[in-house]
Structure 1
Amino acid sequence: MTISEYFELLFTDYTLGTITLGTAVLGAICGMLGSFAVLRKQSLLGDAISHAALPGIAIAFLITGTKDTNILLLGALISGLIGTFWIRGMTHKTHLKSDTALGLVLSLFFGFGMLLLTFIQKQPNANQAGLDKYLFGQAATLVKSDVILMITVTSICLFVLLLFWKEFKLLLFDADYTKTLGFNTKFIDILITFFIVLAIVLGLQTVGVILMSAMLLAPAAAARQWTNKLSIMIFLAAIFGAFSGVFGTAISASQNNLSTGPVIVLVAAVFVAFSFVFSPSRGLLFRHIRFLKNRRDLELKKTLQFMYGIAKTHENISHPHAIRILNNFHGFTRKTLQKLEHNGWIEISNQQWSLTNKGFVEAENLYNQLLEND
Structure 2
Amino acid sequence: MKEFFEFLSFADANVRYVTLGSMLLAGSSAVVGCFTLLRKRALVGDAVAHAVLPGVCLAFILSGTKNPFILLIGAFITGWISLVAIDFITSRSRIKEDTAIGLVLSVFFGIGILLLTAIQHSGNAAQSGLDKFLFGKAASLVGEDLIAFSIVAVLLLAATLIFYKELKLLCFDETYAKTIGFPVRGLELLLTTLTVLAVVVGIQAVGVVLMAAMLITPAAAARFWTDRLGVMLVLAALMGAFSGVAGAYVSYTAPAMPTGPWIVLIISMIAILSFALAPGKGWIARIIRRQRNKKLILEENLLKLLYQLGEAKQDFSTNRPLQELLQKRAIPAKEAKYGLGKLKAQGYLEKTKNGWALTHEGITRGRRVVRLHRLWELYLTQYLHLASDHVHEDAETIEHIITPELEQRLLEELNYPALDPHSAQIP
- TM-score norm. by structure 2 comes to 0.83
User: How far does the alpha carbon of each residue in 1:35-71 deviate from its partner, in whole angstroms, 9 at most, with x for none?
Assistant: 0110001101111001000011111121222222222
- Where in structure 2 are the equivalents of 1:208-219 lying within 5 Å? 208-219=207-218
Q: Distance in 1 between matches of 2:139 and 2:357?
A: 76
Contact 1:10-1:16 within 8 A present in 2 as well: no
Shift of 1:160: 2.0
Q: Distance in 1 between matches of 2:8 and 2:314?
A: 81
Shift of 1:189: 1.0
Contact 1:81-1:197 within 8 A present in 2 as well: yes
Please give the secondary structure, in 2, of the residue aligned with 1:206: helix
What does residue 371 of structure 1 align with? 374
Shift of 1:349: 2.7
Please give the secondary structure, in 2, of the residue aligned with 1:21: helix
What does residue 197 of structure 2 align with? 198
Alpha carbons of structure 1 residues 124 and 18: separation in structure 2 relative to 1, 3 Å: closer
What does residue 254 of structure 2 align with? 255
What does residue 341 of structure 2 align with? 338
What does residue 362 of structure 2 align with? 359
What does residue 185 of structure 2 align with? 186
- Where in structure 2 are the equivalents of 1:128-277 lying within 5 Å? 128-277=127-276
Shift of 1:184: 1.1
Letter in 2 for 1:55: P
User: How far does the alpha carbon of each residue in 1:257-304 deviate from its partner, in whole angstroms, 9 at most, with x for none?
Assistant: 211111100101011101110111110000000000000000101111
- Where in structure 2 are the equivalents of 1:244-323 lying within 5 Å? 244-314=243-313, 316-320=315-319, 322-323=321-322
Larger deviation, residues 187-196 vs 159-168: 159-168
What does residue 79 of structure 2 align with? 80
Contact 1:320-1:351 within 8 A present in 2 as well: yes
Shift of 1:367: 0.5
Larger deviation, residues 9-18 vs 286-295: 9-18
User: How far does the alpha carbon of each residue in 1:233-278 deviate from its partner, in whole angstroms, 9 at most, with x for none?
Assistant: 1111101110111111112222242111111001010111011101
Please give the secondary structure, in 2, of the residue aligned with 1:66: coil
Contact 2:68-2:148 within 8 A present in 1 as well: no
Letter in 2 for 1:124: G
Q: Distance in 2 between matches of 1:209 and 1:88?
A: 21
Please give the secondary structure, in 1, of the residue aligned with 2:357: strand
Q: CA RMSD in A?
A: 1.8
Alpha carbons of structure 1 residues 315 and 156: separation in structure 2 relative to 1, 3 Å: closer
Q: Distance in 2 between matches of 1:157 and 1:183?
A: 21
Shift of 1:153: 2.0
- TM-score norm. by structure 1 comes to 0.95
What does residue 351 of structure 2 align with? 348
Alpha carbons of structure 1 residues 237 and 313: separation in structure 2 relative to 1, 3 Å: same
Contact 1:51-1:106 within 8 A present in 2 as well: yes
Q: Distance in 2 between matches of 1:370 and 1:341?
A: 23
Contact 1:137-1:204 within 8 A present in 2 as well: yes
What does residue 329 of structure 1 align with? 331
Segments of 4+ moved more than 6 angstroms: none
Shift of 1:142: 0.9
Q: 5+ unaligned residues in a row in structure 1: which ranges?
A: none
Q: Distance in 1 between matches of 2:85 and 2:355?
A: 77
What does residue 116 of structure 2 align with? 117
Contact 2:29-2:199 within 8 A present in 1 as well: yes
1:5 has 2:3 as partner: yes
Please give the secondary structure, in 2, of the residue aligned with 1:288: helix
Q: Distance in 2 between matches of 1:85 and 1:315?
A: 72
Please give the secondary structure, in 2, of the residue aligned with 1:207: helix
User: How far does the alpha carbon of each residue in 1:127-146 deviate from its partner, in whole angstroms, 9 at most, with x for none?
Assistant: 22211111110011211222
Please give the secondary structure, in 2, of the residue aligned with 1:347: strand
Give the % identical residues.
41
Contact 2:56-2:71 within 8 A present in 1 as well: yes
User: How far does the alpha carbon of each residue in 1:333-373 deviate from its partner, in whole angstroms, 9 at most, with x for none?
Assistant: 22211211122111113343221122112111111110011
Larger deviation, residues 77-86 vs 315-324: 315-324
Contact 1:67-1:127 within 8 A present in 2 as well: yes
Alpha carbons of structure 1 residues 349 and 184: separation in structure 2 relative to 1, 3 Å: same
Shift of 1:316: 4.6
Q: Distance in 2 between matches of 1:9 and 1:250?
A: 7
User: How far does the alpha carbon of each residue in 1:8-45 deviate from its partner, in whole angstroms, 9 at most, with x for none?
Assistant: 33322221122111101111101100001100011011
Q: Distance in 1 between matches of 2:91 and 2:193?
A: 18
Shift of 1:158: 2.3
Q: Distance in 1 between matches of 2:163 and 2:48?
A: 24
Q: 5+ unaligned residues in a row in structure 2: which ranges?
A: 378-427
